[in-house]
């Protein structure tokens, strides 16, 4: 891997045509050489890299971003990562704990959909996909609902300046300024919550934890910061991408209307075909060989979840949307660092699709609309989705 290639993922038409873009990346595989480091596109190899943090480090991949706070749990490897996952998973993010939030999430989704159902048209991203995960986050961390737009603005400024190939380089100035503003805001919020204990939400329960391994305020700051970025934008992008597909595929939309029980399977397939995370960054902790190519110690490695999810060696007819596929995918990652919010994201998506199709069973793209995602960016998600309906 010593020679550098001219292939650039940033130059692909990812914003408007991910089918073509992913096919082009795949055609250069199984190891795609770029100036930023190799991109892993084979499903089996991607899974191997993600399952072996001792060989391919997530922690080292995030050391170069210059964050003032620990970006936990993603920027740590075992054994530190194991401690954070243990503290957060069972009591806060397990399927059992997340299911308790369904009435709250459903009420919010019902309100958002009901507000636009009688209009005959809406901009789905602005009306539903952005506010729902944002308000769920605000509730979880005990933040004022009035601060929603400020948090979304910080999130957009931070993620919108990413090059789209990982986290191994220092952030641009605009990103650093937005991150500093967000951190200052969160510092003040945590201090206020510490002074006025209330264990009715996630942050309050973490602050009240009496255990010997409880998180420090500095660690809580890093967790809060990471959740603003991950919790707000990933679900927004996933919902926007999924609804774009459904709005242009009446057969898939009708399948959901006729049989809402298919929604969980539909979500998995929609995430596989157009999930928001294009690549995950890792650093090789030692020299290795992947798909016949040598990777030197210290080399950045970019695991392309999006392309691996369309690997023909893993999936039959991989570019087709098939709600009956029933196969696993990598949209949430795999191995020790798999997405901490996996059950919450699935819950939010399921509830939105259920409430939307119950009230608005027939819809389509507005005339002349050409939904596109911002690219290059940290996550890929349609930014505007104008819909019309009876």
**Residues 6 or more apart in contact with residue 261 via CB below 8 angstroms:** none
**Does residue 142 contact residue 198 with C-beta atoms inside 8 Å?**
yes
What pLDDT tens digit does each residue of the chain (390 aa) get? 434 456 889 999 999 999 999 999 999 989 999 888 999 999 999 999 999 999 999 999 988 666 788 888 999 999 999 999 999 998 899 999 999 999 999 999 999 999 999 999 999 999 999 999 999 999 988 888 899 899 889 888 887 655 555 554 555 788 888 889 999 999 999 999 999 988 889 999 999 999 888 899 999 999 998 888 777 889 999 999 999 999 999 999 999 999 999 999 999 999 999 999 999 999 999 999 999 889 999 999 999 999 999 999 999 999 999 999 999 999 999 999 999 999 999 999 999 999 999 999 999 999 999 999 999 888 899 999 999 999
CA separation, residue 267 to residues 34, 261, 262, 352 (Å): 32, 11, 9, 11
**Does residue 305 contact residue 331 with C-beta atoms inside 8 Å?**
yes
Chain centroid, CA 93 distance in Å = 16
Domains of the chain: 9-358+375-388 (1.10.630.10)
CA separation, residue 275 to residues 192, 268, 299, 342 (Å): 36, 9, 26, 13
Q: What is the pLDDT of residue 362?
A: 97
Q: What is the pLDDT of residue 152?
A: 87
> Which DSSP state fits 64?
G
Could you identify the residue written with the tokens 């795949």? Answer: 26
**Does residue 112 contact residue 132 with C-beta atoms inside 8 Å?**
yes
Query: In the numeric block, which tokens belong to residue 28?
Result: 């250069």
Q: What is the pLDDT of residue 213?
A: 85
> Which DSSP state fits 286?
S
Length of the chain: 390
- How far is Cα 14 from Cα 373, in angstroms, rounded to an integer? 7
Q: What is the pLDDT of residue 63?
A: 83
- How far is Cα 244 from Cα 297, in angstroms, rounded to an integer? 41
DSSP percent split of the chain into helix, strand, coil, nearest 5:
50, 10, 40
CA separation, residue 340 to residues 10, 125, 343 (Å): 28, 24, 8
**Residues 6 or more apart in contact with residue 19 via CB below 8 angstroms:** 319
> Which DSSP state fits 373?
B
The predicted model scores a pTM of 0.93
């Amino acid at each position: 891997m010593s020679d550098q290639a001219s292939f650039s993922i940033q130059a692909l038409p990812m914003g408007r045509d991910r089918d073509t873009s992913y096919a082009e990346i795949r055609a250069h595989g199984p190891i795609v050489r770029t100036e930023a480091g190799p991109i892993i596109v084979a499903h089996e190899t991607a899974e191997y890299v993600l399952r072996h943090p001792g060989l391919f480090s997530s922690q080292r991949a995030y050391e170069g971003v210059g964050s003032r706070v620990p970006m936990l749990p993603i920027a740590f490897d075992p054994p530190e990562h194991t401690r954070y996952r243990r503290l957060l998973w069972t009591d806060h993010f397990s399927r059992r704990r997340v299911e308790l939030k369904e009435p709250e999430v459903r009420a919010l989704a019902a309100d958002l959909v009901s507000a636009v159902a009688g209009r005959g048209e809406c901009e789905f991203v602005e009306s539903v996909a952005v506010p729902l995960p944002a308000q769920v986050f605000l509730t979880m961390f005990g933040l004022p609902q009035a601060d929603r737009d400020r948090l979304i603005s910080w999130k957009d400024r931070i993620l919108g300046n990413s090059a789209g190939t990982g986290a191994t380089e220092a952030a641009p100035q605009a990103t650093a300024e937005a991150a500093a503003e967000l951190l200052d805001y969160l510092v003040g919020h945590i201090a206020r919550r510490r002074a006025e204990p209330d264990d009715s939400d996630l942050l309050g329960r973490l602050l009240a934890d009496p255990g010997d391994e409880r998180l420090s305020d500095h660690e809580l700051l890093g967790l809060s910061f990471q959740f603003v970025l991950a919790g707000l934008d990933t679900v927004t992008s996933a919902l926007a991408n999924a609804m774009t597909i459904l709005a242009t595929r009446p057969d898939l939309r009708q399948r959901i209307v006729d049989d809402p029980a298919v929604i969980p399977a539909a979500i998995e397939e929609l995430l596989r075909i157009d999930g928001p995370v294009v690549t995950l960054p890792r650093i090789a902790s030692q020299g290795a060989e992947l798909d016949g190519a040598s990777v030197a110690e210290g080399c950045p490695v970019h695991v392309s979840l999006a392309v691996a999810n369309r690997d023909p060696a893993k999936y039959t007819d991989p570019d087709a949307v098939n709600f009956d596929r029933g196969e696993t995918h990598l949209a949430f990652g795999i191995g020790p660092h798999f997405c901490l919010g996996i059950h919450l994201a699935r819950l939010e998506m399921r509830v939105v699709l259920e409430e939307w199709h119950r009230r608005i069973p027939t819809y389509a793209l507005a005339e002349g609309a050409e939904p596109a995602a911002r690219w290059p960016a940290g996550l890929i998600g349609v930014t505007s989705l104008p819909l019309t309906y009876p």
